[in-house]
Amino acid sequence: MTQKHIATVNPLPSTILHNSVEVRRQYTRAAAKQAVQFISRKVRIFNRRAAEVAHDMPQMQGGV
């Protein structure tokens, strides 16, 4: 699976391209979005594997 790394969420016109605060904000927003996607993907994989393991374990009857 290939990912396209886009520096900015929206292409910036050249008039504000050198506005470092706006550029930094766009980079931060894009990086945060990628981080959330990465973490949620890892959590989904972990939950899927945990469900498979729990399903494979025999049900214990009667507690000690």
Q: Long-range pairs for 1-4 at CB < 8 Å and ≥24 separation? A: none
CA distance 27 to 8: 6
Provide the whole-model pTM. 0.52
Residue 15: is its pLDDT beyond 90? Answer: no
Question: Is residue 12 classed exposed, middle or buried when 0-12, 13-18 and 19+ CB atoms within 10 A define those classes?
Answer: middle
Region 52-60: mean pLDDT is 72
Residue 60: pLDDT band with limits 50, 70, 90: low
For 20-52, what is each residue's pLDDT tens digit?
887 888 889 999 999 999 999 999 999 999 888
- Please report the pLDDT score of residue 20 as a whole number: 80
In the block, tokens 């996607």 appear at 37
